Structure 1
Amino acid sequence: MQPIISVRNLDKTYASGFQALKNVDLDIRKGEIFALLGPNGAGKTTLISIICGIVNPSSGTVLADGHDVVAEYRAARSKIGLVPQELSTDAFESVWSTVAFSRGLFGKAPDPAHLEKVLRELSLWDKKDSKILALSGGMKRRVLIAKALAHEPQILFLDEPTAGVDVELRHDMWQMVHRLREQGVTIILTTHYIEEAEQMADRIGVILKGELILVEDKAALMRKLGKKQLTLTLQEPLDRVPEGLSGLPLELSDDGNALVYTFDVQSERTGIATLLRQLAEQGVDFKDLHSSESSLEDIFVHLVRSNASRPPVDAAATEVRA
């Protein structure tokens, strides 16, 4: 299947000489939920802004549903809805006027029934005649989402959509995301709430220092990089790990009352069997055990830390294009 978004050899260097993106290649599949993760300043918003036609690339190509985002700007942009981080709306317009105007910007014929559906799904229908100025921060965020959906896009970008919003809006938003996905809409989100990406996304991309360091199916990523731990609470405390167990990935807790065994999915069965057998051979008794496994946040932190010592991107390597 052709990707709905295709990014090739994408670079972006600003006039200051700062290289925000370096040689980014990315395909996003139609109908998937793709989470783009990275620390502040990693290049997430720059990448989204280029795909959405807000920022020009220094080099490389981006296709949105087959349309070049530079050469065929109008056709590409009509496929995309964007919910930006910043709350930027006309404070003195009503909710209805703002959303209807956004639909008209894309050349779409008026469709009051569609706008009513969007506003009702976002719990904004009773606020349709209210001025934006009079709304709370959470309601303004809902209006931004309604604007992004007004022209019925096939691709929806959510750039930190739940930053600083209440639990109710977060819950409503993720219900809406599921409904849109069922309708075939492709969702790309950035978020600091990594547990949301773990719960929602089909695939994960990690960007660092302007480079896409990983793109992986979420389930495969959790299997490949995730770690599990088995914690055994001992009958009697130890002052050190017995020498007969020194070849195993074991750590003794600070108080000596527990042994922590770290393993991956591939070694789960054989590793635990070996551990239990060797514990018995060493005369180490335990009274309780429980297991835990890495979250996506653990994996993300590990990836960022392990790449933190990499040299910075060479800003002089790319020519800035006006």
Structure 2
Amino acid sequence: MPRALARLLGRAALHAGWISALLAAAILAGVCIGETPIPPGTVLQTLANKLFGAGFALDRIDQGIVWNYRLTRAIVAACCGAGLAVSGVILQSLLRNALADPFLLGISAGASTGAVLVTVAGVGAGAVSLSLGAFAGSLCAFLLVALLARFSGGGVGPRAAGQIVLAGIAGSQLFNAITAFVITRSASAEQARGILFWLLGNLSGARWDNVVFAVPVALAVTLVCLWHARALDAFTFGTDSAIALGVPVRQVQVLLILCASFATAVMVSIVGSIGFVGLVVPHAARFLAGVRHVRLVPAAALTGALFLIAADVVSRIAVKGQVLPIGVVTALVGAPAFALILVRRRPAR
């Protein structure tokens, strides 16, 4: 038993090592590549100066770009990609629906509405934070979608696959309409322009206070999902099978849905609503790592982080002198990728 445990821990440490190396390389690339390329040596020397007081002589502008702009942007992009991808894994597994994701089920739209109500309409009179408002909105959106799906044909099982998707579309449109109404009624022209750009996904405002918030949330939702990996495997065969295997179904469902909602709300409150990450990345991770959640969850988190870092780089260099909303880039990549997934999953006749 100790030898088996040591082998298991060694394998886990090896996987954690190469995942960390890949993520560090991606973040380094995200910092180096941009409108003005910065050599990797300058980036590493900047980190040494800031973290260890190394005292390398560097241009103050380059050092400021690395530390205050690009590094925070890359780290937040990695956290948002990982959090949204793991949230997609949770929803697809619990609902047994390949189309389930925070964007399609209205969670992202609800989070956007909550954030806009707090920032523009002044809901909470300053006592409610942006993230708390986004979380409340995401939870309200998911509860509305779940109730609508239940009353339109029954629950979250296989028979409700069509209903949950249709309910999610209806919920997304409702909360998007509420968001547009609040912006039109309460925001100035300058505020409306900034909010609409933010709603399409914007990492320009990512700073160290966002990093301090995003990193623990991304790690927490990933670890909670890993802790319940066996339960998620059981949900693959349906709720009845999970009950037969001794899984406390209701508690696990509530906990994991709350985790997915909170992670989505936090990421939306930082970068806005970004589509297709929670939908496409879990499918790509299943192709790479299989369906067992002990492998799928880390693979989805890593793939989501790498994907959003790459999308952020593209958003900064695709149009010279301008920064595209990152949601535009994810949609341009995600829509064809999801179409390919649908074609590959087409049942044989």
* TM-score normalized by the length of structure 1: 0.21
Q: Which has the higher contact order (CA 8 A, sep 6+)?
A: 2
Tell me which structure has the larger Cα radius of gyration: 1
TM-score computed with the length of structure 2 as normaliser: 0.20
Richer in helix (by share): 2
